[in-house]
Structure 1
Amino acid sequence: MTPGENTDRPVQHVAIIMDGNGRWAQQRGRPRAFGHSQGVEAVREAVRAAGELEIKYLTLFGFSTENWRRPPHEVDALFDLMKRFVDADLEKLHEEGVKIRIAGRREGLDRDLVGIIERAERRTAGNSSRCLTIAFNYGGRDEIVRAARRLAREIAEGQLDPESVDEETFAGFLDTAEIPDPDLVIRTSGEHRTSNFLIWQAAYAELVFLDVLWPDFSARHFASALDQYAARKRRFGGVNAA
């Protein structure tokens, strides 16, 4: 299958809401943290599949600003898995030319995790083969508020004329600056909502909801989502050509 076949342009950017780790574990009588651990293997599978399917930009929703409401031991487990994933996979991704970016608020994260994030970004900064963005401690509304604060600060300091601000200018203050908007957003687990994920960037993205729980996500599911995307006509507010 050719990504983006039967559409006006090929798929550049796929974003995934990785949902269902806890339910997957509970179905097996295991703690939720076990589901998150297995979910890391699905992350690796998704990254591999994106490369094989020639997806240049992949964004994964790893931890939301709302996830702080979960039990402390589960939050700690998610943080630990993030550290382990970056530590274990950084050099391999670097060798493959993958640029790693982390979107989200860094305040509140422990110093070790911030250090690992910054090391991964520095190590892969010059890569251009593909781009992997991990949204961690991320919320779409929080991102927009933080961007608005930075924008307001530059206006207050006289660095920016408020009359010159347009959508492109504002997008440059978001965590995803320099990354194209997602063409396709996939959510696993059968839930039909976007949960405060890339709410600015995904304004015209196609949405695909899969019934598979995240630890069971495979290259086959990735390809199936792209098939659904390929069958759609993207109009961006316009109409189909006659």
Structure 2
Amino acid sequence: MDGNRRYARSKNKLVKHGHSDGFLALKRVLAICFRLNVKCVSTYGFAIDNFKRSPEEVEALMDLIEEKLLEICEHGDLLEQYGVRLNVVGNTALFPERVRAAAHKAEAISRHNDKAILNLCMPYASSDEMTTAVQSAIRNGLAAGEYRDITVDDIDSQLMTTLGGSPPLDVLIRTSGVKRLSDFLLWQCCENTQLQFSPTYWPDFGLWDFLPMLLDYQRKAWAA
């Protein structure tokens, strides 16, 4: 979901307002996805590298994340309407305690939902996820008294998305005209994943940006 800051500057808004508008765009796009019966959506909500931004911007983002997670707890209409289970995927130990508590509460209220999955990846980095998965695979092998090579399947089974029940990744979309993956779902998109790039800043992203990507995916999937 790239382009919040550039969107804000283009509208002469504060950066924090760009992030707020980005959350509105997320809610809008999620409604489209779940109405179209998409079974799993993973969003890059906050990168581990984002902690390197100015203290003011990081604090504003922590406030916004906490606010929106608590809003989900109080008014989880979208999750309940479509039976969506929420997973907060990432190194949550890096969050302030107040944000961790909000994340755990939001996950708990949707745990009974089983029709679709929403992965909020934050604070996330694919390199961190893969490192953690390798460490877990080694620990599991040692605990079982097994001394063997770690396999692809061993690592895959310990990925945060796998542990959360996510299916394989079909389409990865990046907005704002930037064409790089920026340490997002690198393991998951290494096979049979279509990459789509949009020039639109994330807060402006909507149905008419999204629909051609879905149709392109469908066309390629049917032709395969």
Q: TM-score, normalised by structure 2?
A: 0.91
The alpha-carbon deviation at position 140 of structure 1 amounts to 0.3
Superposed CA deviations along residues 207-239 of structure 1, whole A, max 9, x for unmatched, are: 00001100001122221211222232589xxxx
CA 1:176–1:161 in 2, change beyond 3 Å: closer, same or farther?
A: farther
Q: Give 5+ residue unaligned stretches, structure 2.
A: none
Residue number in structure 1 paired with 2:43: 60
Q: Which has the higher helix share?
A: 2
Given that 1:24 and 1:215 are in contact with CA atoms closer than 8 Å, whether structure 2 keeps it comes out as: yes
Are 2:162 and 1:174 aligned? no
Residue number in structure 2 paired with 1:137: 123
Written as runs of structure 1 = structure 2, the 5 A alignment for 1:82-231 is 82-90=65-73, 91-96=76-81, 97-158=83-144, 160=146, 162-163=148-149, 165-177=150-162, 178-204=165-191, 205-231=193-219
Match of 1:81 among 43, 64, 68: 64
Distance 1:206 1:234 in 2: 13
Residue number in structure 2 paired with 1:43: 26
Higher relative contact order (CA 8 A, sep 6+): 1
Distance 1:77 1:207 in 2: 31
Q: TM-score, normalised by structure 1?
A: 0.84
Superposed CA deviations along residues 7-31 of structure 1, whole A, max 9, x for unmatched, are: xxxxxxxxxxx00000000012222
Report the identity percentage. Answer: 28
Distance 1:172 1:159 in 2: 18
Are 2:37 and 1:72 aligned? no
CA 1:158–1:21 in 2, change beyond 3 Å: closer, same or farther?
A: same
Q: How many residues align?
A: 218
Secondary structure of 1:181's partner?
A: coil
RMSD over aligned Cα atoms: 1.8
The alpha-carbon deviation at position 83 of structure 1 amounts to 1.4
Distance 2:208 2:64 in 1: 25
Q: Give 5+ residue unaligned stretches, structure 1.
A: 1-17
